[in-house]
Amino acid sequence: MLKFENQPGLRFERGVIKSELIKSVGWSKGTDFCLLNISFSSNTFKYQSLTRKNPPQLIIEVREGKKPDESLKDDSRTSSFHRENESSELKDPREIRTVVIDPGHGGLEVGAKGKFGTLEKDITLQIALKLKAIIERNLSFRVILTREKDVDVSLENRAAVANNNRAHLFISIHTNSSYRKEASGSETYFLSLNATDEESRRLAYLENNSVEFEERISGGSEDELNMILWDMAQTAYIRQSSQMAESIQNELNFLLQTPNRGIKQAPFKVLTAVSCPAVLVEVAFISNPEEEKKLLTEEFQENIAQAIFRGVLNYLKSLT
Amino acid sequence: MTKKEITLLGVLFLCLVIVMYIFFRNQVKEAPLSSETHQKSERKDEEETIQKKKILLFFPSEEDSLLHGEEREIISSSLLIEEARQVVEELLKGSNEGYISPFPPETKLRELFLTEEGVAYVDFSRDIQEKHISGSSAELATIYSIVNSLVYNFKPIKKVFILVEGREKETLGGHINLSQAFKPEFDLVAK
């Protein structure tokens, strides 16, 4: 049982609980205090808790003590504005287990540059590491980065990291740059299929060679057919990718208090070969000196990572 | 046809065009052996027959994230490629109406080809890639300024493939896929 100070705007959102360990989560509200009541079906469990700011939240991680293999992670996220319990909904093995985060650029390929010398490759890695930490704290997912250091990784290899690890989600992080000095704000992209004719040609090929497709898509050799098949991998996930993009963009709009910029479509090289729902987030404009300064702060990076995380959660919720 | 075969055909076609280009250029150089007076009268004739043609170029603007049309005149030619070349050359000169030039100033047009299927191959000097500012918005502005300008002005051009130093490149600055022919995006144009 947990006791909170009652604050204006504090409300309880009940999530569906499908946990073997947590029997129920209750909530009662007094004039000065609120009580969060979690009841367990077993006495053998361990828990960890931590509090975080922006948005204020209390994270309680509960694990069953006797069965470490199953690694039940029943997280109860609580904040003074909303309380969520979605991770327990996502334990179904068919559901999302691996997230690949792609920090844009790296090594000699520095990406866009800010007026004060900030490099896109550095900011994208910092935000990606923060997002990784948030996801690992809140969900029992495996999180893989396409690079953890300042190294060159080809665009094809970034997609390959997702495909070889059988990723369920792919999130590429970038900072934008424009010729317009005033350009500002966040944008979330998914792949546009510009070369429609080529796609239909490939699909026709696939229909006639479906057995080969099954056999070869899992292979890693560099023969031409394989390259073609990997090339078009994202075409099968456009609808899901657009939904994830929308969820993330909504959270970014809310965070930055900007009017809805909508989601965008463009032929991004890094997304084309990814065989799972995939988006590319342009978190802010490094070419705009004001946004460049913001991008350098821990607080802004953390807020952006949080917003992307909430967007991913909302997307996952919409699947159930 | 496999991708390799297409590339091979492309290379052969390129070689043929280059050979033809050299051949014709030599012929033109050999031609003006006639007297000066003759040359002068020829020039006069040319000036009289020069016909201008209005075209529309698309540039990004400081005002919004859209492309804006700017009218320009080029010299009419019976060769579509010649007119298309002029459109790209005019784009590279930048705007006269205060719009942004989405090209590094050193960028040169090397060649322009048109396939029977209506794909224009536009080959730029390395500057377009090496000196590009990188960034998704900047790359999109550069690409669609070219693609929209060519497709808008010439009906036979349906798609545009951007080459750098005669080769297919992955991206300009790490974002937008250049290994494909682009269709125009007129949604990016200000109404």
A145: helix, strand or coil: strand
Nearest alpha carbon to residue A226 among A215, A235, A237 = A215
- A52 vs A266, more confident: A266
Q: Are residues A15 and A134 in the same domain?
A: no
The residues facing A59 across adjacent strands are: A50, A77
Looking up residue A137, the CATH number of its domain turns out to be 3.40.630.40
Determine contact, residues B130/B115, Cβ cutoff 8 Å: no
Residues 6+ apart with CB under 8 A from B54: B71, B72, B73
Over residues A137-177, the pLDDT tens digits come to: 999 899 999 999 999 999 999 999 999 999 999 999 999 99
Q: What pLDDT is stored for residue A213 in this prediction? A: 43
Is pTM beyond 0.95? Reply is no
Q: Which residues of chain B have pLDDT under 70?
A: 1-4, 6-48
The CA distance from B138 to B122, in Å, is 19
Instruction: Tell me how close the Cα of B133 comes to any Cα of chain A, in angstroms.
Output: 6
Q: How many CB pairs under 8 A join A and B?
A: 99
A145 has which bridge partners?
Answer: A101
Q: Which residues of B touch A194 (CB under 8 A)?
A: 180-183
Q: Looking at the structure, do residues A128 and A254 belong to the same domain, yes or no? A: yes
pLDDT higher than threshold 50 for residue A214: no
Residues A198 and A151 in one domain: yes
Q: What is the pLDDT at residue A68?
A: 37
Kindly give the pairing relationship between strand B67-75 and strand A83-84.
Answer: unpaired
Give the type of residue at A233: A
> For the ranges A3-7, A112-116, A163-167, which has the lowest average pLDDT?
A3-7
Q: In this structure, are A289 and A152 located in the same domain? A: yes
Q: How confident is the model at residue A259 (pLDDT cuts 50, 70, 90)?
A: low
Nearest CA of chain A to the CA of B85: how many Å? 24
Q: Which of residues 98-157 of B touch A (CB under 8 A)?
A: 100-102, 133-138, 140-141
Task: Say whether both A75 and A145 belong to one domain.
Answer: no
User: What does the DSSP 8-state code read for residue B187?
Assistant: G
pLDDT-derived band of residue A30, with 50, 70 and 90 as boundaries? low
- Residue at token pair 């007094």: A30
Q: Is the domain of A240 the same as that of A268? A: yes
Q: What is the pLDDT of residues A37-83, one digit of tens each?
A: 677 777 677 766 666 666 666 667 677 764 433 333 333 333 333 33
Find, in chain A, the residue whose alpha carbon is nearest to that of B62.
A180
A303 and A235 in a single domain? The answer is yes
Q: Angle at the Cα of B51 (from B46 to B54), degrees rounded to 5?
A: 150
Is A208 found in the same domain as A71? Answer: no
- Res A10: pLDDT: 66
Residues of A with CB under 8 A from a CB of B: 104-105, 109, 111-113, 120, 155, 174-183, 187, 189, 194-196, 198, 224, 228, 266-270, 272, 280, 282, 285-287
Domain end among A59, A89, A119: A89
Residue A284's φ and ψ, nearest 5 degrees, are -170, 175
Measured CA to CA, the distance from residue B82 to residue A34 in angstroms comes to: 77
Element (H, E) at A224: helix A224-231
Alpha-carbon gap, residue A141 to A316, rounded angstroms: 12
Q: Under an 8 A CB cutoff, do A224 and B2 touch?
A: yes
Residue A52 — φ and ψ, nearest 5°? -140, 155
Domain that holds residue A12: 2-89
Give the distance from residue B17's alpha carbon to the nearest chain A alpha carbon, in angstroms. Answer: 26
Mean of the per-residue pLDDT values for chain A?
Answer: 78
Let me know whether A295 and A182 are in one domain: yes
DSSP, residue by residue, A53-93: TTTTEEEEEEEESS-GGG---EEEEE-SS-EE--GGGG--T
pLDDT of residue A218: 44
Contact B65, A183 (CB under 8 A): yes
Number of domains in chain A: 2
Average pLDDT over residues A280-289: 96
Q: Which of A183, A267, A286 sits opposite B65 (nearest CB)?
A: A183
- How many other CB atoms are found less than 10 A from the CB of residue A49? 12
Are residues A147 and A286 both part of a single domain?
yes
Q: Check whether residue A24 and residue A158 sit in a common domain.
A: no
Q: Which residue has the higher pLDDT, B133 or A206?
A: B133
Mutate to test the interface with A, among B61, B95, B151, B177 (most CBs of A within 10 A): B177
CA dist A287 → A83, A180, A258, B127, B181 (Å): 37, 8, 18, 20, 28
Domain check: are A163 and A51 in the same one?
Answer: no
Q: Do A179 and B2 touch (CB under 8 A)?
A: no
B89 and B131 in contact (C-beta within 8 Å)?
Answer: no
**Chain B 157-186, residues with CB within 8 Å of chain A CB atoms:** 170-171, 173-183
Domain end position, chosen among A63, A89, A115: A89
Last residue of a domain, one of A89, A122, A157: A89
